[in-house]
Chain A
Amino acid sequence: MGSEIKMKKTKKINETLPDGVLSLLSQSGRTKQDILYASATDLNTEGEFADGFLLLARDTLFVFKAEPNREKIHYYKGYGICEEQEREQEWIWKAYPLSDIKRLFIEMGVGCNLLVAEIGSEKLLLAMFTQLHKREIAHLVRGVEQLNAGEELDIPEDEAEYCPKCGNMYPDSSRKICPNCMDRRSIFFRVLGYFKPYRIKFAALILCTALTALLNLVWPYLNGTVLYDKILAKNEAFLQSIGVKNGEFLVALLLLVLAMAATKIVLLLLEILQGVLTAQMVVDVVRNMKKDVFRVMAKLSINFYRSRQTGGLMTRVMSDADRITGFFVDGGPYILVHGLTLLVTVIVMFGINPQMTVITILLLPVLVAVSVYLRPKIWVMFGRRHRAERSLNSGVNDNLVGARVVKSFGQEEREVNRFEKNNVQLRDAEIAITYRQNYFHFIYGAAQSIATIGVWVLGVWFLLGDARQDMNLGVLITFVGYVGQLQGPMNFFARVHNWWADSMNSAQRIFEIIDAVPQVQEPAHPKRLEKPEGNISLKGVTFGYEVNRPVLKNITVDIPAGSMFGIVGRSGAGKTTLVNLISRMYDPQEGSIKIDGINVKDLSFHELRKNVAMVSQDTYIFMGTVAENIAYGNREADIKEIMRAAKLAGAHEFIMRMPDAYDTRIGASGRELSGGERQRISIARAILANPKILILDEATASVDTETERVIQKSISYLVQGRTTISIAHRLSTLRDADYLVVIDNGEITERGTHEELKALKGTYYKLLELQTKALDREEKVF
Chain B
Amino acid sequence: MNEDFALSQMEQETDQMLRIRYINNENAEFTRTGTGFLSLKIEDEFYPRVQVVRMFPFMHKDEFLSVRTPDERSKEIGIIEKLSDMAPETVAMLQEQLTLRYFTPTITKIFGIKDEYGYAYWDVMTNYGACRFTIQMGGNAVVHLSDTRILIIDIDENRFEIPDIMALSNSERKKLDLFL
Contact = CB atoms under 8 A, between A and B. Distances in A.
Contacts, number: 137
B121 A71 contact: no
Contacts of A3: 114
B172 interface: no
Interface stretch (B15-23, B76-84, B101-109, B163-171): B101-109
Contact of B6 (A45, A179, A766): A766
A169 B119 contact: yes
Contacts of A5: 132
Q: How large is the interface on A (under 10, 10 to 19, 20 to 34, 35 or more residues)?
A: 35 or more
Given A78-B119, A78-B154, A131-B158, A761 B111 contact: no
Contact of A107 (B3, B33, B70): B70
Nearest to B131: A74
A773 B7 contact: yes
A78 B100 contact: no
A73 B112 CA distance: 14
B101 A171 contact: no
B118 A73 contact: no
Contacts of B7: 769, 773
A701 B45 CA distance: 38
A78 B36 contact: no
Nearest to B99: A47
Nearest to B115: A380
Interface string A64-95: 00000111111111110000000000000000
A365 to B, nearest CB: 25
A125 interface: yes
A47 to B, nearest CB: 4
Interface in A1-30: 1-3, 5
Interface in B143-165: 154-159
Given A70-B128, A107-B70, A132-B156, A76 B134 contact: yes
Nearest to A78: B134
Contacts of B102: 109-112
Contacts of B10: 766, 769-770
B123 A110 contact: no
Interface string B43-81: 000001100000001000000000000100000000000
B72 to A, nearest CB: 10
Given A109-B103, A110-B102, A111-B103, A77 B154 contact: yes
A76 B35 contact: no
Contacts of B88: none
Contact of A77 (B114, B118, B134): B134
A73 B35 contact: no
A151 interface: no
B123 A125 contact: no
Contacts of B132: 1-2, 5, 73-76, 79
B1 interface: yes
A761 B2 CA distance: 10
A168 interface: yes
Contact of A78 (B57, B101, B155): B155
Interface string B3-29: 100110010000000000000000000
User: What are the 7 closest A-B residue pairs judged by CB atoms, nearest first?
Assistant: A78-B134, A125-B36, A112-B103, A76-B133, A131-B156, A47-B99, A1-B123
20 contacts: A45-B99, A47-B99, A47-B103, A49-B128, A73-B131, A75-B132, A77-B134, A78-B155, A79-B121, A107-B70, A109-B102, A110-B159, A122-B35, A128-B100, A130-B103, A130-B156, A130-B158, A131-B158, A171-B117, A769-B6
